[in-house]
Amino acid sequence: MSKLSHVCLAAGLAAAAGLAGTPALAAQADQNAPKEDAMPATPADPYLWLEDVTGDKQLAWVREQNARTEAELAGAPGFDKLESDILAVLDSDAKIPYVGKRGEYYYNFWQDAQHERGIWRRTTLEEYRKDEPKWETLLDLDALNKAENENWVWHGADCLRPDYTRCLVALSRGGADADVTREFDLTTKQWVEDGFYRPEAKGSLGWIDRDTVYVATDLGPGSMTESGYARIVKEWKRGTPIESATVVYEGKPTDMAIGAGHDDTPGYERDFVYRALAFYNNELYLRGKDGKLTKVDVPNSAQKSVQREWLGLELREPWEVGGKTYKAGSFIVTRFDDFMAGGRDFDVLFEPTDTTSLAGATMTKSQLVLNVLDDVKNRLSVVRHGADGWTSEPLRIGDMELGTTSVGAVDADESDALWITTTNYVTPTTLMLAEQPGKAEPETLKTMPVFFDASRDVIEQHFATSKDGTRVPYFIVHPKDLALDGSAPTLLYGYGGFEISLTPSYSGTVGKGWLEKGGVYVVANIRGGGEYGPRWHQAALKEKRHKAYEDFAAVAQDLVARRITSPQHLAAMGGSNGGLLTGNMLTQYPELFGAIVIQVPLLDMKRYSHLLAGASWMAEYGDPDTADWEFIKTFSPYQLFDPAQDYPATFIWTTTRDDRVHPGHARKMAAKMLAADKDVRYYENTEGGHGAGATNKQSAHVWALNYTFLWNELAK
């Protein structure tokens, strides 16, 4: 709903929230190596040595496995064309250049064949409306990398209003979550000499005013949490040593992360401190001009947002306050100043039903746009506050029934204008500008080009019945003339964690690599995600984790029952938390699949909380150092692996530069499977962070390996 959301994310949680960014840098190898003092090695684990991310012996093992995988997959007929086709999609000049408004300019970061690492640029709205806008280049990362002999990856910029001439630019080596922040002058297009600079760490740097910032970063021993994020936030004045900066808040080592931010909305300037204890467990404090912190006394589990005069809460648990009880999943609002003065009277703007959940609440200058999922289909409404309270009316955008509609404020301080995007699996994404939402038709600004032939495909939504009787939705894209004989190569994708919803979107990579070749593509909306709000997420937490896996297996079984495919033609794919999902499909449901793809995964759940950011996920999975291990071990693929069991063909991949999910998970699982002579191949990209690659070329190569593997196994 608000700028406060950005304040919270500045603590370094945006990337971590999805489990979905990157390295063990050479300079940080000591942080990424096994922490023997934290937890003794399991005697039966002969592959612990592979957790040393940048060791010579370990990287030699990686190179050996990469060569083996490349020989099989990159040498296969058609690989070069597939890689070229995917790269053409990623490098296309016709992609939508998404922009963010700052002052009179619209800013964009862009990568293509000529700009491998990318350029940061800006234009005007008048130019942006054109098919080929004129852009002003502000920063060329390829040129910067050449000049500095680095491999910087763009991590964003925070520019100071009202003149927007000074920006704090975040850059990451190789795509890691850890990054540096440097002060940049938009007038001279140069780094500010002796400007603000935050060294490499998982932290944040944000403006208060031109000469003052909030900084949360690695300040030496004891300054980081056990999750690897900043534990201390300071107010730092220009020209003074960071060591002498004023401590604003100091959290505990067991906290997840600490951050602070300044809301510069004219007339509503405020400062906040954010303490994350775990995912969906955080505290928010208002910081007064005297430095005193006053807690915003709302449930820790609620998602909190403050914009202009309003405090908004998305509740994850029922809350009894002011003589009323508000349902979990509800979105409630009140005036922020009234609340801080003791008022507890809220208005309910959304209350969930059995089929609905709140996908988002976007506030503009004078109204709020609610985005509701109804059986994983978007429904928009405009909510306004007047003399008679809140009123609501539908906001109808096109007729895309099975698709995704997203909204975002263009400039919440200045207008009610919205960016609106619509997309689905076979329809290229469209970007619209609604300058008067609900009052005038939006203007179509950009449309993604057609990257693959989807003329013969159709999208459907079905529901499978899970083991406990729960109704589990899934989307399927298949040829209109599909023969229901169980022979169709079918790719089933899932995630199921951290309250993240999987909704339809257009992907040229999926299209070129899978759909255009006749494959069936399925996305499962399993428990653990957010498709039905907090209850759907909470239904698969900790000791209930198996529910997510039962849901995914139920979708697989439903596809077979419908004669769409059969186990020998069905593959499972997932990354990060989704890699844990597919790791469990491999070890618990091997009979359902002909192939498994496990991407940047968690797999060793006995050690996960001691590796990189793993400690921050214990609210999701449990603490393996306690009695929780009794249920965690039931979904830990590394421990569940049985050398005597038959398993489907498997492809495991990760990146050396993943400093979120430790590459040791993937390495050790592959090594264990190889030692048991299983049908497994392993690949590790040297860059890319918690993703496929730092450049389009790297990403195209990794995705071509994925799809080549799948076609080799499923089209037999």
Catalytic, 690? Answer yes
- The span from the CA of 568 to the CA of 639, in Å, is 25
Phi and psi at residue 411, to the nearest 5°: -155, 90
Label residues 400-425 b or e (16+ Cβ within 10 Å = b). bebbbbbbbbbebbeebbbbbbbbbb
Exactly one of 262, 546, 662, 690 is catalytic; name it. Answer: 690
Residue 386 has a CB neighbour count (10 Å cut-off) of 8
Is the Cβ–Cβ distance between 229 and 254 less than 8 Å? Answer: no
Catalytic, 330? Answer no
Distances, alpha carbon 277 to alpha carbons 231, 258, 300, 610, in Å: 11, 9, 9, 17
Exactly one of 406, 466, 576, 699 is catalytic; name it. Answer: 576
Residue 476 has a CB neighbour count (10 Å cut-off) of 24
User: 183 exposed, middle or buried (CB, 10 Å; 0-12, 13-18, 19+)?
Assistant: buried
Distances, alpha carbon 558 to alpha carbons 490, 506, 551, 562, in Å: 12, 24, 10, 6
- The span from the CA of 168 to the CA of 147, in Å, is 20
**H or E element, residue 81:** helix 79-91
**H or E element, residue 543:** none
Residue 207 CA neighbour count, 13 Å, CB half: 23
Most distant CA pair in the chain: distance in Å?
72
Taking alpha carbons only, the member of 243, 178, 92 closest to residue 659 is 178
Phi and psi at residue 705, to the nearest 5°: -60, -45
* DSSP assignment of 622-681: --TTSTTHHHHGGG-HHHH--TTS---EEEEEEETT-SSS-THHHHHHHHHHHHTT-SEE
Cis peptide before 162, with omega less than 30 degrees from 0?
A: yes
Residues 6+ apart with CB under 8 A from 659: 21, 22, 23, 24, 25, 28, 32, 176, 177, 178, 202, 228, 612, 613, 689, 690
- The span from the CA of 653 to the CA of 704, in Å, is 13
Residue 165 has a CB neighbour count (10 Å cut-off) of 14
- The span from the CA of 503 to the CA of 496, in Å, is 12
Residues 6+ apart with CB under 8 A from 244: none
**H or E element, residue 549:** helix 546-561
**H or E element, residue 334:** strand 331-335
Q: Is 313 helix (H, G, I), strand (E, B) or coil?
A: strand
Is the Cβ–Cβ distance between 619 and 677 less than 8 Å? Answer: no
The set of catalytic residues is 576, 690
